[in-house]
A and B are shown apart, each in its own frame.
Chain A
């Protein structure tokens, strides 16, 4: 059921068994898993059912490190969280993603892929993926489109599935189910301003809640789960400093540190040796009606051998522009004549000779360049956008700043940093890619940034993947939470979401964070229902 924090009596104390802070992908997944159990669950969601500017403004925070948008841009603060503008791209982590890398400090998860596999199955259903098969055989059964045939095993092709756009928002998808759940209450407009503990600091006792209208109350629970995203999870822990001046879980100063992203930028351009290379596999497309996106990556063997982390390479096909002269135009017409697919779509059916619709002709005359899109023109260049598995960097962090938000809580700023190993990762992998595509006769690669460039490219961007600020480790000196996602030094405060990732892996985070939320739900049920 749904409730609104604005109508809770002031200074009331609500009692529940599990208090989940945040109704995004992780929070909603957790709450759903507890539906029908004997446990009472209260979910505190800061926003309402839809976007509200005043609530969104609570997310504002500057970037003080590498260029990054204001923190209110990549995140959404209403029911469903950031899934309300999610890209839907899913792929599970591989075994090697969980392994420690000798050459790179702070890598390695305290759990293995086998610990997560049982939950991946269920996670795929939660995000509404039609299949759990990511193998190339399944997604490239024939010749068209097909992955690149490269000679060596060091550059591999990978499949990422795409959730259909109308199924991506957890808020829209699971609202009804939570509304009908008798043991789960979602309180909207409920901002958790901090977690209060007992005197020893080992047991969380209550979550303090405030509304923008000035209401205040608290929620007492047996167990608490923070599921507000990496930036906000860190913020809540840091600002819950009534008993622990450094914040909760921060005895070793790790909360907020190791902020991880999948930084991306255009790393290189390939000039293909043929005008129509078979690269449809690397564009977003459908196989048997299901959406997928292929991409290239360095192999795990190559990564281990070179002491590098993962690098994903997305290909962006650049089609040629308007014909340069008469013979060029004639050549393009010949291509058109040969491209039956285009004709079939733009020609009026039933006419004895194929003739395009008037609208198509109008569009073509209005912008001949764009009209070439109809004709699936020549590919003149292929952009290689690199997405880096950022190496864990303790100096890349979310920090409290002096400014306070409307609720009086200290804001955070993001000091995003990368390391030389990230730069070396791109360079070595692109050198390898260049040799591979040259050997395969695909074309020639030009690497856009020189070996001696010390800065980062102008088009450096994050993937809107926030990870690592409450990283997982069995050693309290290297992590904020343990392998059960429980905050070190505490008995009943847990963290869900990608903030627990010690490394970003070579895949998008959503599927894994949902799997970990399912795992945490099972753990909580196991603990509480004995």
Chain B
């Protein structure tokens, strides 16, 4: 069982013998990762801003209130690209190399291929990242000043995360929509060996 790879398995069943991780632990890891990557992005952008000057300038004496805040559009795009690259790197690279982000590893979570792979290949890792972090914030920032778009985007973000959470909770294999599409499954590491020893014939 442990050696066989069911590559054409469409439903993405998890590898046998590995306990699935619970929602609360996964959510906690997600929150910690989000916080950590946000800090990284904040620091990176702050460094860029120190070198090249601030992205957002405050003109206290501007005649019109809307001119008080002036964001350099080119820099906003640059920041968006930088932040996106950092975010991708933070999640995708550890998933590929180590099977888990820093917070996931710390909480003994492993992200595996559902057809039995040790870790996700690049394409599926990237897909998983996109599904977990659709560019709501980026779209919102880049369309600043169009209030309808902003509200729509944030509404869509809220709906999206509710969908992910619900599909994860209701799945027997604890695979949310993102897991199913990326064919991944999240297990608890560390007890693996013990479990295998107990259950594998």
Contact = CB atoms under 8 A, between A and B. Distances in A.
Asked if A and B touch directly (CB within 8 angstroms), the answer is yes
A357 B52 CA distance: 14
Size category of the binding interface on chain B:
35 or more
A137 B145 CA distance: 22
29 contacts: A285-B66, A340-B140, A340-B150, A341-B144, A341-B145, A346-B56, A347-B137, A348-B41, A348-B83, A348-B141, A349-B76, A349-B79, A349-B80, A349-B138, A350-B41, A350-B80, A350-B83, A350-B87, A350-B138, A351-B37, A351-B87, A354-B137, A358-B42, A360-B56, A360-B58, A373-B60, A373-B65, A373-B68, A374-B58
B94 to A, nearest CB: 16
A284 B69 contact: no
Interface string A463-507: 000000000000000000000000000000000000000000000
Nearest to B84: A350
Given A344-B143, A360-B58, 17 more contacts: A280-B65, A284-B63, A317-B65, A341-B150, A345-B69, A349-B138, A349-B142, A350-B79, A351-B83, A352-B137, A353-B35, A355-B42, A357-B54, A359-B54, A359-B55, A359-B56, A374-B58
Interface in B37-85: 37-38, 41-42, 45-46, 49, 54-56, 58, 60, 63-66, 68-69, 71, 76, 79-84
B64 A284 contact: yes
B45 A344 contact: no
B137 A350 contact: yes
B145 A285 contact: no
Nearest to B53: A359
Interface of A: 280, 283-286, 317, 340-355, 357-360, 363, 370, 373-374, 376
Interface string B14-36: 00000000000000000000110
A285 B82 CA distance: 32
A185 B64 CA distance: 40
A465 to B, nearest CB: 18
A197 B144 CA distance: 65
Interface centre among B69, B87, B135, B142 (most CB of A within 10 A): B69
Contacts of A350: 41, 79-84, 87, 135, 137-138, 141
B160 interface: no
Contacts of A359: 49, 54-56
Interface in B101-115: none
A341 B138 CA distance: 14
A340 B147 contact: yes
Question: What 6 A-B pairs are tightest by C-beta distance, nearest first?
Answer: A350-B83, A349-B141, A344-B144, A284-B64, A349-B80, A358-B46
Nearest to B30: A352
A284 B67 CA distance: 10
A152 to B, nearest CB: 29
B45 A348 contact: yes
B144 A345 contact: yes
Contacts of A346: 56, 69
B151 interface: yes
